[in-house]
Each structure stands twice: as C-alpha cells, then as structure tokens.
Chain A
Amino acid sequence: MTEPRNPGMSSIPQAAPVHTDSTSPAVEMDPVEYTLRKRLPRKLPKRRNDVYVNMKTDFRAQLARCQKLLEGGGHREICVHGLGLAINRAINIALQLQASSQGVLQLAANTSTVELVDDLEPEDPDEAGEPMTRTRNNSAIHIKVFYPDPQ
C-alpha cells in the first residue's frame, strides 16, 4: 500500500486507528495512484510554558524540558499538549512530573478534537487524477501542570 518511493510516509497505517472519523470525498480513490501527504496541524498557541509533545524527540529530553520550565524557569504552570499517538506520552510526562514533585503539582486535563488535512497528490500528472484534500479528526489532550495557589 505505502509506496516504496515515500519511505517517510510509511507510518500512515499506524495513525489509522486513532481517527475519530473522516469525511472522505475520495472513497473510490485508487491508493496506488496517489501520494498521501499530511499537512501540519493548524498553528497552535506557543507561549513559553507550552510544551508540544511528539514521538520523535527522546522521552527523557521532553520530560527534562518540562522539569526545567517548572523548576528553573520559574513558571507556576505549564501546558503539555499531545495529539494522537503522543497523547500517551503527554500523559506520561504529566504524571511523571507530578510523581517527582511528591504530589505537590496538580494536573488539569482537557481533551479536544483537532481537524487535520491530508493532501492527495496524483502520482502521474498526465493521468486524469486531480489533487484532492481530505480532512479527518484526531484527538488531542492538553494537560495543565501547575502548583496550586497557596490559599
């Protein structure tokens, strides 16, 4: 299914189980003739205390970054975001932060749905295929890790 020409796209089947749904105008699409390109998720808020967790960076590096923000960076709260497969890792980071603070830190998790856009590009431009886009939804989590107000 995934073309050997696109080794970077070999992860497409992995993302499939987490789709919430997909409004696909191209159900009849022949998968051989199209290349599936995934766009970036839409631009997200990026403050100094926002941490976007991904699956490429080493887990310990991301955990250390969060710890540095909370301890050295002087932030009372940080926001850890994870999308799709990275939800698990975002939760893990948040729980690790909480555990290493001896329970001082609190967690407040919110969930949301993020709309993602895929581009379908025809492999052979001479043939009749037209570029298409498909939107699908993926789940995301946003965990506020914070020191509760001393009141």
Chain B
Amino acid sequence: MFTGCGVVSGQNQYFNRPHPGLEVNRPIQMENGVTSGTCSVYQDQTHSNAGQPAVVHSVSTPLTPLPVPPPALKLGQEGFKKVCRTEEDSPCPFPGLASGVLEMRVKEGSKIRNLMGFAMARMQGEKSVTGGGVSGGGLRQVVFTGSGRAVTKTITCAEIMKRKVGSLHQLTKLRYKVVKEVWESAEGGTSEMTVHRTVPSISILLSKDPLDPQEPGYQPPETLSALWEEKEGVESSSQTACKRSLGPLPYSSFPHSKRVCLGEGVSVHPPH
C-alpha cells in the first residue's frame, strides 16, 4: 500500500543527519534561540543517548513514525553536542486529503534527481504501482514538504513536476514547524539542554484532479510564467528592462547570506 514509505524512510536515515558543511552554524543558531527566549533549558535530565527519537511527520498519512538514528555527533562551539532532533507533530496542512497520498519529504541534503526520479515514476505510473492511486495512470496527487533550508528545494521539485507532468492543480501552505533539539554537554555529559526552534516549512500539494479554487494558496494549472503578467501589464517594458544588467543586483549575489540568516533567526518567535 505505501511503497513510498520505504524509499522516503531510507532517505530520512541519511538526511536527518546534519549536513557536515553546515554544522558550524548550528550552535550559533541555538544560541540565538537562547537569547530570544524560544528555548527552555533542563538540567540533569535522564535522557539516554540510546533512546532513539521517532520523527513525527506533518502530513497525517498513515505512514508509521520512522525511527531515526541519532544524528552524527559533533562538538558544538559551546562544548555542547546535539543528541537528537525531533520534529514535533503538526496537523495535516491539507484537511480532507485522502490517505495514502504520496508524501515526499525533502531534506536539505536530498538530491533532486532522486526525489524526482521516484516521484515522477509514481505519478506517471509507468511501472504498475502497487496501490494508492488510480490504476494505470499513476497517482493522482503528491505532496512535497520541506522545512528550513530545504524549502527552496521543495519548491524546485514542485516546479519541475508541474513542468514535466502538466495540468497540475497546486495548493501551497506555509507554516512554522517546531523542532526540538536535545544538546548534551561535552564534558561529563550530565547536563542537557532542550532547544525548541521554529523553522518555516512549506507543503505543496500537486493534484491531477481539480482542487478548491477558493482555498488560499491555490494555483490553477499552467500559471508557470503567467503569474508575473497577470498582476500588472508591464510586459512591454519588461523586454527592454531585462537587458539592463550589472551593478549590485537585488537577487544575484548573497555574499553575506549566512550571517544575515543568523540575524534572521533571532527575530523568529514561535507563533503561539
């Protein structure tokens, strides 16, 4: 029934581990969480390192919660190392969605070719799929979800699928996802700290069947490039304007993006 579960869980085991190149930033973000008061500190908790947390995922498809190995332990800058990272349960962003819809959980280390290779095969139904959708034509719906740094990749996956499959109705939902991190002191290992961070997450539902156009975040099929023009008639000037170039471009280079991102983390407070 849920053959997608096996593949996605296999990715989870790898991708829930922090990206090695990005690990340096995490202790700083945690510190930001401390200063902005979004975390709570518990001392001397008896949280065992071996207790493997289960990642609870957002869309309430009947996928079983997947046990995740503890992330790669790295020494943080404050002498703390992260013991585990748990995404807290959140309700399905698409109420009324049929169970068994393929959910692609995009992580920041996921390879787009892997995600798309799997999702496209399921949607196009080239191989006879074991279930979950209309037989023959492949699945009718797919959900891409991602949070934090994986948001951009999530959108990219959805955009690629819209372009390749065509005539897909889209529903996009944004929200904060709460991530619980447990950090353990490096020396002694007696003190532990639990950090609650909120990260923005996105869920994109792509459907071959029509969706409710009144729902906020709905996009009808084939709005790939029309989205810009429909807002205001600037097509004529756009052609000449795009020839202008060079100089400090608003979107083109982000040499200080890392540092600015951290500053952004300070001002993020949980919505509740």
A59 and B151 in contact (CB under 8 A), knowing A117-B242, A139-B156, A139-B159?
no
Of B223, B250, B263, the residue contacting A112 (CB under 8 A) is B223
Interface 0/1 of A101-115, CB less than 8 Å to B: 001001111111100
Does B98 make an interface contact (CB < 8 A)?
no
Could you tell me if B268 and A96 are in contact, using CB atoms closer than 8 angstroms? yes
Interface 0/1 of A14-39, CB less than 8 Å to B: 11011011000000000000000111
Chain B residues whose C-beta falls within 8 Å of the C-beta of A37 in the assembled complex: 245-246
Of A39, A45, A59, A112, the residue contacting B245 (CB under 8 A) is A39
Chain A residues whose C-beta falls within 8 Å of the C-beta of B219 in the assembled complex: 110-111
Interface 0/1 of B236-272, CB less than 8 Å to A: 0110011111101111111111001101100111110
Does B26 make an interface contact (CB < 8 A)?
no
Does A5 make an interface contact (CB < 8 A)?
no
A43 and B200 in contact (CB under 8 A), knowing A87-B152, A95-B176, A143-B174?
no
- In the complex the two chains form, what is the Cα distance from A3 to B260 in whole Å? 24
Of A10, A43, A79, A108, the residue contacting B255 (CB under 8 A) is A10
- In the complex the two chains form, what is the Cα distance from A45 to B229 in whole Å? 8
Could you tell me if A18 and B249 are in contact, using CB atoms closer than 8 angstroms? no
Of B160, B174, B202, B216, the residue contacting A21 (CB under 8 A) is B160
Could you tell me if A42 and B238 are in contact, using CB atoms closer than 8 angstroms? yes
Interface of A is mostly: mixed
Of A8, A41, A60, A94, the residue contacting B251 (CB under 8 A) is A41
- In the complex the two chains form, what is the Cα distance from A117 to B252 in whole Å? 11
Of B153, B245, B271, the residue contacting A17 (CB under 8 A) is B153
CB-CB contacts below 8 Å: B148-174 with A: 148-149, 151-153, 155-156, 158-160, 163, 170, 172-174
CB-CB contacts below 8 Å: B176-225 with A: 176, 200, 202, 204, 216-219, 223-225
Does A120 make an interface contact (CB < 8 A)?
no
Does A44 make an interface contact (CB < 8 A)?
yes
* Least distance between A49 CB and chain B CB atoms (Å): 11
* Least distance between B32 CB and chain A CB atoms (Å): 12
A11 and B253 in contact (CB under 8 A), knowing A55-B260, A88-B149, A111-B170?
yes
- In the complex the two chains form, what is the Cα distance from A7 to B270 in whole Å? 38
Chain B residues whose C-beta falls within 8 Å of the C-beta of A107 in the assembled complex: 174, 216-217
* Closest B residue by C-beta to A146: B216
* Least distance between A116 CB and chain B CB atoms (Å): 8
Could you tell me if A18 and B234 are in contact, using CB atoms closer than 8 angstroms? no
Interface residues on chain A, number (Cβ under 8 Å):
62
- In the complex the two chains form, what is the Cα distance from A94 to B216 in whole Å? 14
Chain A residues whose C-beta falls within 8 Å of the C-beta of B264 in the assembled complex: 59, 89, 92
Does B227 make an interface contact (CB < 8 A)?
yes
* Closest A residue by C-beta to B229: A45
Could you tell me if A109 and B173 are in contact, using CB atoms closer than 8 angstroms? yes
Q: Which 10 pairs from chain A and chain B are nearest by CB?
A: A43-B241, A108-B216, A45-B232, A39-B245, A99-B271, A38-B252, A11-B253, A42-B242, A109-B172, A43-B238
Residue from A11, A56, A87, A109 with most neighbouring chain B CB atoms (10 Å) = A109
* Least distance between A119 CB and chain B CB atoms (Å): 7
* Least distance between A115 CB and chain B CB atoms (Å): 8
Q: Name 12 interchain pairs, CB-CB below 8 A, sorted by A.
A: A11-B252, A11-B254, A12-B253, A14-B257, A38-B245, A41-B249, A43-B242, A59-B263, A99-B271, A106-B216, A109-B202, A113-B159
Does B175 make an interface contact (CB < 8 A)?
yes
Residue from B153, B227, B268 with most neighbouring chain A CB atoms (10 Å) = B227
Could you tell me if A83 and B253 are in contact, using CB atoms closer than 8 angstroms? no
Does B228 make an interface contact (CB < 8 A)?
yes
Could you tell me if A112 and B249 are in contact, using CB atoms closer than 8 angstroms? no
Does B231 make an interface contact (CB < 8 A)?
yes
Chain B residues whose C-beta falls within 8 Å of the C-beta of A142 in the assembled complex: 227
Could you tell me if B257 and A113 are in contact, using CB atoms closer than 8 angstroms? no
Of B204, B248, B260, B268, the residue contacting A111 (CB under 8 A) is B204
